[in-house]
Chain A
């Protein structure tokens, strides 16, 4: 049963991503992206990353996606539907991307990734992540907060009207 759902979610993700990539309609692409995000959240659950799954939904779908929608709405003309234009270099891009994909796959698949002999260090991740954030990864945490501050100020500066 779990396998079946896994493959469904797998297919969902791939299909949504394909729609994002190849779709003509921009609004359709945005909503396909939402589908991708939700699918990835599901994958996280399969990977026992409960905290991440929820964070994914909250931040990506609730934050970034909404932002993207705003962006589309604010920057397109009234007739939204056929805004998205295809690009001239589709062919070259396809070739390159296929090449990259092949490379990645050849790098990844043949290997027999050796698993650690340690037992699973977690059953639930929240407390673990919280713990790690404030001990091993403290500096990163602080820097991240500074980064966020910077992004905040930057975005605000960029987007305001010239006085």
Chain B
């Protein structure tokens, strides 16, 4: 099992190495199929693993492989692989989406200027994502976390000749890094108190009371429970960055500058899911307050993004905000304690959002080709206002769109219904039954179901809006419409596969009850107990009890709410009974606010970045004009003066001394010259004097 996992981990890396180092030779010779092939092999291996897991069907199954990596005596870091049911499902998910995206990209990206490098980067992304999934410790997750961020940057900026794409890549990476600061700080707190990064050991040690024992001592007498809350929230910050939660969501809509298959793979199905996965892994040691915070952030994000999506005209932007909103759902689920529901939604969302993105890519691809045919380079192929009535021209794409939109809107018979329903039931339970955490203490827990159901209604509304604007109605640009064709099989096959995976029965086998989520999934994935012993945390039994009770009311309400959303959407966009423009005009400020993403980017730029840059400027000026001038340059000036003085001293004193010696000898010579009379007899006298002196000195 572990060997399989390691193969799955490292094969995509091989793809990356191959593409990067040999692309010149193989670009003509269909070198990209090597990558595609590698991905499909990974898929097969992961399906084998899935089969092995299902045959055991043990909810408590887990395997771990340790390797000591860095041993500094007091401080040890291990690398390792941790496999449990969730890991296997994630590996399969990543493999499916990755291989389908590889296949799809051979047609979508054909003729691209950096074709083989694209496949290489897809390879390294898959490797990094698998690394996150297989990681057994916070440290290892961090390493692959950053790698995934890097791949995202590389892929978003694939067409870096466009300034907007290059900027979007940078924005994504930097926003991620801000979240990672929190994550790293949280990791450091955990390792300081517990001495390990390993997930299993963290849970064990907290359970054994090590946290309670060490926390106060190491952090200046702080309440251990508060510290654990803080650590949990800080690690969660990484998820906020990676999964585009408010307030670090701003990078995801901009990331749509990248190619659509990339959006499908990274920004819908897998990378953004990494944040949710992290939250899943840290679930056992979240305190009630931390969970409340997480739930609130998730819920707020869900409804916030949904309100923006209703006014967007770019097809990919709608889907991007929809992704942010759905991620909010998953996070909210985990925050309320609906562990299984959150993870379930992650998996179903990966399928249908991946399909949605690929299908929208199919539409954009068709629009592009048509425009190219007409030598039209000005119309925006992604703007829904240029589409309309496409269902007759692109039936397969249309079909996939319908299926997946139904899934995301929570219509029964589709997988999305089951997972969303479970989440909404979780929020209902939380509001009704849970009494721990600051939300409950402030009697604000009811806001979570409001967020949840409200977002569900809005989601249904804007997703059907998208379908009606794109596939129904009159073609807004008839000339472009004429030349629209259905996309090639290489693109439509992945669409169909993902659409099938969005059906309900994929997750409920062997049961075929469309209204119940019992099946293989819920058997193998079960919520863990909380390991927290320092204070109020998650109570599994209590929660499950509440879930049973809340299940039916939540389902009914969600159906109602989704229906309302679809009805409204039909009225406005299909039957045109209510005019969208008049509604927008009446709502004036609200409409503009929504259209402009509630001015978040403007807030960041003017409220944070500009003042910061001004501050930097001021510091720079201080450094240059004051510090440099007085200290550094002053030092230089002083040195100059000193050296002038020293030079003078050198000239006068040292040279003087040297010259003085010379003068002495000159004088000596001048005086002694008189000895050289040239007369032998004088010399003889001197000899005699000398010898006499010698004799005298010797004797006495």
Residue A89 CB within 8 A of the other chain: yes
Q: What's the nearest-Cβ distance from chain A to residue B393, in Å?
A: 135
State whether B692 touches A89 (Cβ < 8 A): no
B184-192, B216-224, B599-607, B681-689: which lies at the interface: B681-689
CA distance A89 to B680 in the complex (A): 12
| Extra A-B contacts (12), CB below 8 Å, given A92-B685, A93-B685, A99-B692 | A87-B681, A89-B681, A89-B682, A89-B685, A93-B681, A96-B685, A96-B688, A96-B689, A97-B688, A99-B689, A103-B692, A103-B696
Cα separation A107 to B695 with both chains bound (whole Å): 10
Provide the bound-state CA to CA distance between A103 and B699, in Å.
Answer: 11
| Cα–Cα distance between A82 and B682 once the two chains are bound (Å) | 24
Please classify how large the interface on chain B is, using the bins under 10, 10 to 19, 20 to 34, 35 or more.
Answer: under 10
Give 1 or 0 for each of B666-698: 1 = CB within 8 Å of chain A CB. Answer: 000000000000000110010011001001100
- Given the complex of chains A and B, what is the CA–CA distance between A67 and B681 in angstroms? 23
Chain A interface bracket (under 10, 10 to 19, 20 to 34, 35 or more)? 10 to 19
Chain B nearest CB: distance from A21 CB in Å? 14
Looking across the interface, which residue of chain B has its beta carbon closest to that of A99? B692
Q: Are A100 and B692 in contact (CB under 8 A)?
A: yes
Write 20 A-B pairs (CB below 8 A) sorted by A numbering: A87-B681, A89-B681, A89-B682, A89-B685, A92-B685, A93-B681, A93-B685, A96-B685, A96-B688, A96-B689, A96-B692, A97-B688, A99-B688, A99-B689, A100-B688, A100-B692, A103-B692, A103-B695, A103-B696, A107-B695
- Nearest A residue to B677 via CB reads A89
A-B contacts at CB below 8 angstroms, number: 21
Closest 10 CB pairs of A and B: A96-B688, A99-B692, A96-B685, A103-B695, A103-B692, A100-B688, A96-B689, A92-B685, A100-B692, A93-B685
Q: List B contacts of A107 (CB < 8 A).
A: 695
Contacts of A92 in B (CB 8 A): 685
Which A residues lie within 8 Å of B685 (CB)?
A: 89, 92-93, 96
Q: How far is the CB of B353 from chain A (nearest CB, A)?
A: 124
**What per-residue 1/0 map shows which CB atoms of A60-99 lie under 8 Å from chain B?**
0000000000000000000000000001010011001101
Majority SS at the chain B contact face: helix
Residues of A within 8 A of B695 (CB): 103, 107
Return the CB mask of A95-126 against B: 1 if under 8 Å, else 0: 01101100100010000000000000000000
With CB as the reference atom, state the residue of chain A lying closest to B693: A99
CB neighbours (8 Å) of B689 from chain A are: 96, 99
The smallest beta-carbon distance between B690 and chain A, in angstroms, is: 10
In the complex, A3→B692 CA distance in Å? Answer: 34
Nearest-CB residue, chain B, relative to A102: B692
Bound CA span A103–B682, Å: 20
A93 shortest CB reach to chain B, Å: 6
Q: A99 to chain B: which residues have CB within 8 Å?
A: 688-689, 692
Chain B residues with CB under 8 Å of A89's CB are 681-682, 685
Q: How far is the CA of A87 from the CA of B685 in the complex (A)?
A: 13
Task: Find chain A residues with CB under 8 A from B692 CB.
Answer: 96, 99-100, 103
Q: Which A residues from 11 to 43 make CB contacts under 8 A with B?
A: none
A87 surroundings in chain B (CB, below 8 A): 681
CB distance from B564 to the nearest CB of A (A): 141
Nearest Cβ on chain B to A105's Cβ, whole angstroms: 12
Task: For the complex, give the distance between the alpha carbons of A99 and B689 in Å.
Answer: 9
Residues of A within 8 A of B682 (CB): 89
Q: Given the complex of chains A and B, what is the CA–CA distance between A80 and B135 in angstroms?
A: 131
B688 to chain A, nearest CB (A): 5
A34 to B491, alpha carbons, bound, how many Å? 146
Min CB distance, B523 to chain A, in Å?
Answer: 131
Give the docked Cα–Cα distance between A87 and B689 (Å). 18
Residues of chain A within 8 A (CB-CB) of B696 are 103
Min distance, Cβ B56 to any Cβ of chain A, angstroms: 123
Distance A89 CA – B695 CA, assembled complex (angstroms):
24
Distance in angstroms from B696 CB to nearest chain A CB is 7
Q: CA A97 – CA B691 in complex, angstroms? A: 12
Q: In the complex, what residues of B have CB within 8 A of residue A100's CB? A: 688, 692
Closest to B685 in A: A96
| Cα(A112)–Cα(B223), bound, Å | 115
- Nearest A residue to B687, CB-CB: A96
Q: Chain B nearest CB: distance from A152 CB in Å? A: 25
Q: What is the bound-complex CA distance between A103 and B694, given in angstroms?
A: 11
Q: How far is the CB of B685 from chain A (nearest CB, A)?
A: 5
Shortest distance between the CB of A87 and any CB in chain B (Å): 7
CA distance A96 to B681 in the complex (A): 12
Q: Which residues of B contact A96 (CB under 8 A)?
A: 685, 688-689, 692
Q: CA–CA, A128 to B88, complex, Å? A: 133
Given the complex of chains A and B, what is the CA–CA distance between A87 and B692 in angstroms? 22
Closest to B691 in A: A100
CB distance from B678 to the nearest CB of A (A): 13
Who on chain A is nearest to B696 by CB? A103
How many angstroms between the C-alpha atoms of A99 and B695 in the bound complex? 11
Q: In the assembled complex, which residues on chain B have CB atoms less than 8 Å from the CB atom of A97?
A: 688
